[in-house]
Protein backbone atom coordinates (compact mmCIF):
# COMPACT_ATOMS: atom_id res chain seq x y z
CA UNK A 1 0.00 0.00 0.00
CA UNK A 2 1.22 3.50 -0.86
CA UNK A 3 0.16 6.32 1.44
CA UNK A 4 0.53 9.96 0.49
CA UNK A 5 -0.36 13.38 1.78
CA UNK A 6 0.08 16.93 0.58
CA UNK A 7 -1.30 20.38 1.26
CA UNK A 8 -1.36 23.83 -0.28
CA UNK A 9 -2.64 27.30 0.57
CA UNK A 10 -4.97 28.70 -2.08
CA UNK A 11 -5.51 32.45 -2.13
CA UNK A 12 -9.26 32.15 -2.50
CA UNK A 13 -12.14 31.47 -0.07
CA UNK A 14 -13.16 27.90 0.82
CA UNK A 15 -16.37 28.18 -1.21
CA UNK A 16 -14.44 28.72 -4.45
CA UNK A 17 -11.92 25.94 -3.80
CA UNK A 18 -14.57 23.38 -2.81
CA UNK A 19 -16.79 24.29 -5.76
CA UNK A 20 -14.02 23.50 -8.26
CA UNK A 21 -12.97 20.30 -6.47
CA UNK A 22 -16.56 19.03 -6.55
CA UNK A 23 -17.06 19.93 -10.22
CA UNK A 24 -16.67 16.60 -12.04
CA UNK A 25 -16.47 18.39 -15.40
CA UNK A 26 -13.15 19.95 -14.31
CA UNK A 27 -11.42 16.99 -12.62
CA UNK A 28 -9.49 16.21 -15.82
CA UNK A 29 -8.12 19.79 -15.77
CA UNK A 30 -6.03 19.24 -12.65
CA UNK A 31 -5.71 15.47 -12.17
CA UNK A 32 -4.12 12.72 -14.22
CA UNK A 33 -7.57 11.41 -15.13
CA UNK A 34 -9.26 11.64 -18.53
CA UNK A 35 -12.84 11.22 -19.69
CA UNK A 36 -14.16 11.75 -16.18
CA UNK A 37 -17.94 11.84 -15.94
CA UNK A 38 -20.70 11.40 -13.39
CA UNK A 39 -22.31 7.95 -13.63
CA UNK A 40 -25.08 8.39 -11.09
CA UNK A 41 -27.23 11.34 -10.04
CA UNK A 42 -27.38 14.88 -11.34
CA UNK A 43 -25.16 16.61 -8.81
CA UNK A 44 -22.17 15.30 -6.91
CA UNK A 45 -23.25 14.05 -3.48
CA UNK A 46 -22.46 11.34 -0.97
CA UNK A 47 -22.73 8.01 -2.80
CA UNK A 48 -22.40 9.49 -6.30
CA UNK A 49 -20.23 7.54 -8.70
CA UNK A 50 -17.84 8.87 -11.30
CA UNK A 51 -16.02 6.96 -13.99
CA UNK A 52 -12.64 7.93 -15.38
CA UNK A 53 -9.59 6.60 -17.15
CA UNK A 54 -6.42 6.79 -15.11
CA UNK A 55 -3.03 6.60 -16.75
CA UNK A 56 -0.43 5.63 -14.22
CA UNK A 57 3.02 4.98 -15.61
CA UNK A 58 2.63 2.29 -18.27
CA UNK A 59 -0.82 1.30 -16.94
CA UNK A 60 -4.13 2.63 -18.16
CA UNK A 61 -7.26 1.67 -16.24
CA UNK A 62 -10.90 2.63 -16.40
CA UNK A 63 -11.99 3.17 -12.81
CA UNK A 64 -15.19 3.90 -10.98
CA UNK A 65 -15.03 5.97 -7.81
CA UNK A 66 -17.76 6.54 -5.27
CA UNK A 67 -18.02 9.71 -3.19
CA UNK A 68 -17.33 8.40 0.30
CA UNK A 69 -17.32 11.74 2.11
CA UNK A 70 -19.16 14.92 1.18
CA UNK A 71 -19.34 17.64 3.80
CA UNK A 72 -20.05 20.86 1.92
CA UNK A 73 -16.99 23.12 1.86
CA UNK A 74 -15.14 20.93 4.38
CA UNK A 75 -14.48 17.37 3.15
CA UNK A 76 -14.59 15.50 -0.14
CA UNK A 77 -13.59 11.85 -0.29
CA UNK A 78 -13.45 9.19 -3.03
CA UNK A 79 -12.98 5.44 -2.95
CA UNK A 80 -12.53 3.18 -5.92
CA UNK A 81 -15.28 0.60 -6.33
CA UNK A 82 -14.16 -0.97 -9.59
CA UNK A 83 -11.97 -4.04 -9.88
CA UNK A 84 -8.62 -3.82 -11.59
CA UNK A 85 -4.88 -3.45 -11.21
CA UNK A 86 -5.17 -0.73 -8.60
CA UNK A 87 -7.49 0.64 -5.97
CA UNK A 88 -7.37 4.24 -4.83
CA UNK A 89 -8.94 6.18 -1.96
CA UNK A 90 -8.49 9.91 -1.43
CA UNK A 91 -9.69 12.59 0.96
CA UNK A 92 -9.56 16.36 0.50
CA UNK A 93 -9.95 18.70 3.48
CA UNK A 94 -10.77 22.39 3.08
CA UNK A 95 -9.88 24.74 5.93
CA UNK A 96 -10.40 28.52 5.92
CA UNK A 97 -7.25 30.55 6.47
CA UNK A 98 -8.61 33.97 7.34
CA UNK A 99 -11.25 35.47 5.09
CA UNK A 100 -9.70 34.96 1.67
CA UNK A 101 -7.53 31.84 1.73
CA UNK A 102 -7.99 28.10 2.05
CA UNK A 103 -5.70 25.29 3.13
CA UNK A 104 -6.44 22.23 1.02
CA UNK A 105 -4.96 19.01 2.35
CA UNK A 106 -5.14 15.68 0.61
CA UNK A 107 -4.30 12.22 1.84
CA UNK A 108 -4.87 8.86 0.28
CA UNK A 109 -3.91 5.30 -0.33
CA UNK A 110 -3.11 3.46 -3.51
CA UNK A 111 -3.10 -0.31 -3.55
CA UNK A 112 -1.70 -2.35 -6.41
CA UNK A 113 -3.12 -5.83 -6.89
CA UNK A 114 -1.48 -9.13 -7.72
CA UNK A 115 2.15 -9.16 -8.76
CA UNK A 116 2.03 -5.40 -9.25
CA UNK A 117 2.21 -5.06 -5.46
CA UNK A 118 5.93 -5.73 -5.84
CA UNK A 119 6.21 -2.33 -7.57
CA UNK A 120 4.73 -0.35 -4.67
CA UNK A 121 8.09 0.58 -3.08
CA UNK A 122 9.34 1.88 -6.43
CA UNK A 123 6.16 3.83 -7.13
CA UNK A 124 5.73 5.45 -3.72
CA UNK A 125 7.92 8.47 -4.51
CA UNK A 126 6.23 8.96 -7.88
CA UNK A 127 2.77 8.84 -6.30
CA UNK A 128 3.68 11.39 -3.62
CA UNK A 129 5.23 13.74 -6.19
CA UNK A 130 2.32 13.30 -8.61
CA UNK A 131 -0.28 14.08 -5.96
CA UNK A 132 1.64 17.21 -4.88
CA UNK A 133 1.76 18.37 -8.53
CA UNK A 134 -1.98 17.81 -8.93
CA UNK A 135 -2.65 19.92 -5.86
CA UNK A 136 -0.50 22.74 -7.29
CA UNK A 137 -2.42 22.54 -10.59
CA UNK A 138 -5.63 22.71 -8.56
CA UNK A 139 -4.36 25.85 -6.76
CA UNK A 140 -3.53 27.51 -10.10
CA UNK A 141 -6.97 26.73 -11.52
CA UNK A 142 -8.85 28.00 -8.47
CA UNK A 143 -6.84 31.20 -8.33
CA UNK A 144 -7.11 31.79 -12.09
CA UNK A 145 -10.86 31.09 -12.19
CA UNK A 146 -11.55 33.63 -9.50
CA UNK A 147 -9.29 36.32 -10.96
Q: What is the CA radius of gyration of the chain?
A: 15
The whole model's pTM is what?
0.88
Residue 97 is given by DSSP the state -
CA distance 115 to 105: 31
> Residue 77 and residue 102: Cα distance in Å, rounded?
17
- Whether 100 contacts 14, CB under 8 Å: no
For residue 104, the domain's CATH number is 3.30.530.20
Domain of residue 114 covers 2-145
Number of structural domains (the chain) is 1
Interval 42-68: pLDDT, tens: 788 899 999 998 876 667 888 899 999
pLDDT digits (tens, 9 = 90+) for 14-42: 999 999 999 888 888 988 888 999 998 77
Amino acid sequence: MINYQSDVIINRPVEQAFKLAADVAHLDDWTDMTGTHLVSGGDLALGSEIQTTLKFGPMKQVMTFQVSEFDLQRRLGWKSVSKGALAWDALYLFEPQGTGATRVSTAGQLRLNGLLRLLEPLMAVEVQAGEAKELLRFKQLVEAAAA
